[in-house]
Amino acid sequence: MAEHLDQSFEDSAMNSEEKRKINREQRTQIIAFAFMIGLTILAFLAVGAEGLPPIFTTPFILLLAFVQLILQLYYFMHLKDKDHGWPNSFMISGLVLAAPMIVALIMLLGVVKY
């Protein structure tokens, strides 16, 4: 290990294919981050706009939040990688179990409220 101390990092650590893969991953994450900032700005604009009706604004913001959640899980939590099969299966099974329960609770609250 001590014999490679005089070499620069680019020469000793990674080959060109690994560097290219890391650069591609960084570029993808920067684009995803910029897209999420855009979604956040869009949500702020939707809330700040006085002409939009609240019946449109709330589902629109929830849709933007859902898209942002999926992007964050996919790109920043590395669920797109091949070795994340178990976390992906747990996330999908959690969504399959939680979604009907949330819909049932919303319907129950809607029935009781009106």
Q: What does each of the 114 residues of the chain score in pLDDT, given as a tens digit?
A: 677 777 666 565 677 888 888 888 899 889 989 999 999 999 999 999 888 888 888 889 999 999 998 888 888 877 777 788 888 888 889 989 999 998 898 888 887 665
Dig out the tokens for 71 from the structure: 């992007």
What span, in angstroms and rounded, lies between the C-alpha atoms of 67 and 61? 10
Max Cα-Cα span within the chain:
77
With beta carbons less than 8 A apart as the criterion, state whether 55 and 33 touch: no
What span, in angstroms and rounded, lies between the C-alpha atoms of 72 and 74? 5
What is the sign, positive or negative, of the torsion defined by CA atoms of 66, 70, 75, 79?
positive
